[in-house]
Amino acid sequence: MTEPSYVVAPPPTISIGVRDSAARFPVHRIYCVGRNYEAHAVEMGHDPKRELDPPFFFLKNPDDIVEPGTPVPYPPQTADLHHEVELVVALQSGGSDIAREDALSHVYGYAVGIDLTRRDVQAAAKKTSRPWATAKAFAASAPVSEIVPAAAIGHPASGQLTASVNGEPRQKGDIADMIWSVPDIIAHLSRWFVLAPGDLIFTGTPAGVGGLERGDVVVAAIEGVGQLEVTIR
Ligand code: MN
């Protein structure tokens, strides 16, 4: 069979490095969970009893990913860029209607991510009942560390997450405090979307989110998973 030709250049495959591996993790989609830690839901002005509601989701674009060592340009159209440290789940397989008990068998590994957010744009979107795309899915909005295989570290159900800015502590939480655990998230998400190998899931952020300025250095870390340093330029 001959190679197809294209009327415009096909996009490159987006991928992330894997710890202790020459092979890379190719990225299919980026799903994100909203309000998955009670203390962050409260700081955003929401009812802490919302854990009774099902989780909700939004997306970023694969090419929003920023790899370690690459600075993030301060994005246009915002005056309030926020950091959100999050555990990122990388899927090696997928499907629909995945049972909670089977969910972890689909996980290749884990990473540390920062869900960069135009908070002012998000606040306006909430007020006007408009979608979050411009608040969440912009260029360089998804810095991610290398992926650590579950084969090496298992499936962390607890572990401290922190984010500091210029050495000053900002965010602190524990992945044990997620309202929806990783298996819960995969089970719920797979009712709405057909999950696939290469999908990433940002699992929500603990309390302490805050604004960033040009020149700031954010260090995000998750115990047992890794650390990610990002400079805003
Ligand atoms: Mn988030």
Could you read off the pLDDT of 108-162 as tens digits, one per residue?
A: 999 999 999 999 999 999 999 999 999 999 999 999 999 999 999 999 999 999 9
Predicted TM-score of the model (pTM): 0.96
Cα of 1 from ligand 1 centre, angstroms: 44
Q: Give residue 185 CA to ligand 1 midpoint distance, Å.
A: 14
Q: How far apart are CA 70 and CA 59, in angstroms?
A: 22
Confidence bin at 50 (pLDDT 50/70/90): low
Ligand 1 centroid distance, CA of 4 (Å): 39
Helix (H, G, I), strand (E, B) or coil at 70: coil
What's the CA-to-centroid distance between 3 and ligand 1, angstroms?
A: 40
CATH class of the domain defined by 16-231 = alpha beta
Cα–Cα distances in angstroms (integers) from residue 81 to residues 47, 76, 108, 187, 195, in the given order: 24, 10, 31, 31, 29
Compute the distance from residue 5 Cα to the ligand 1 centre, in Å: 39
Provide the residues around ligand 1 (an ion) whose CB is within 5 A: 84, 115, 205
16 exposure class (CB count in 10 Å sphere: 0-12, 13-18, 19+)? buried
Laid out side by side, the sheet with 160-165 consists of 168-174, 160-165, 217-222, 226-231
